[in-house]
Amino acid sequence: MRLSDCYNFHDFRKLAQRRLPGPIFNYIDGAADDEATLRQNTASFERCDLVPNVLRGVETIDMSVTVMGQKLAMPFYCSPTALQRLFHHTGERAVAAAAAKYGTMFGVSSLGTVSLEELRRAYDTPQVYQFYFHRDRGLNRAMMQRAKEAGVNVMMLTVDSITGGNRERDLRTGFSIPFSLTLAGMAQFAVKPMWGINYLAHESFKLPQLDQHVDMSGGAMSIGRYFTEMLDPSMNWDDVAEMVQLWNGQFCLKGIMSVADAKRAVEIGCTGIVLSNHGGRQLDGSRAAFDQLAEIVDAVGDQIDVIMDGGIQRGTHVLKALSLGAKAVGVGRFYLYPLAAAGQAGVERALGLMRAEIERGMKLMGCRSIDQLSRENLRFR
């Protein structure tokens, strides 16, 4: 199987599975507990049907959107995800380059493996910085100041991860940073030697957003312990309001799922919210973001930019979310599997296929621009 054989999400997933050692593939692929929320994220779209209009003159299509002050050439962006250079040695560089080619936004995680400064210098496309709220308030302020000085466009605080989810696939393989593999996990690395060769042949793995603050070398701290020991479960709305004021720019909360929380985000001055259950990786059994979208848009959509992520695998999924009132959607696994499969070329192919699906879908829906999508185009079963 080659990259040219990949035409959809499932093809990229299959190719990534062939190329990654099992523990790393399962880190991307897995979710919390019984993984019920992971499955529901995509199933939620299948309960919604599109109702197309015809004879509308759709020879030209404009799929651009403006979200949190950023003009995007297409209505989806690459959500910030951790540890990308574990999946392919080019990591965030490949994702940023692909996003820039297609004129969309990309995110850099606190647990990213390339510095946000390098990416900001190299790629002139909107950049989000995603970070977590630490017990050390000084560390929080320092990370925000660093992002401000780097020229980051949007600050994104993840609010659904004050403790790590119960990801049993990782427990079975011993996946952590640094590696602490079980015998079964080590055996899965042995049968994929090319990954190890690439890992050792390129620059050493690091977490440049945190390397001045957290020692993750020599077994000092795993990713799981980072969530358990470094992040602050006492974080509250007053803490976030202070950060919004300190940032004094585009500020987004990722992980909002209730109307009450969406309204509070408006009250403290946020400019965006991302409806998200962290790809099913945190609270298993939580509701799919798409199922919550309409009521949150109805409550605050005229006051704040509402975005969603989770379960996006097709252009029609994007169109359904936009029709309900989302300003844009984020994708994670959708580009991580292609990254693992083929680096930048894989991400570019995935983004290009999604763009083509959205353009084709808009033509078949009878919509020339995103603002022509509405709930009139949808029916729920």
Catalytic residue positions? Answer: 278
What is the C-alpha separation between 57 and 210, in angstroms, rounded? 52
**What tokens were used for 362?**
């808009």
Place of tokens 């408006």: 266
- Beta strand ranges found along the chain (DSSP E): 48-50, 65-67, 70-72, 76-78, 106-109, 127-131, 154-158, 250-256, 272-275, 305-309, 328-331, 378-380
Q: Tell me, what DSSP letter sits at residue 204?
A: P
Give the span between the Cα atoms of 21 and 339, in whole angstroms. 14
Token pair of 350, please? 């995935």
At 169, list the tokens: 């696939």
Calpha distance 222→228 (Å, rounded): 10
CA nearest to 158, candidates 63, 235, 234, 253: 253
User: How many other CB atoms are there within 10 angstroms of residue 54's CB atom?
Assistant: 8
- Spatial neighbors of 346 by CB under 8 A, at least 6 apart, are 3, 6, 12, 15, 88, 94, 337, 338, 339, 340
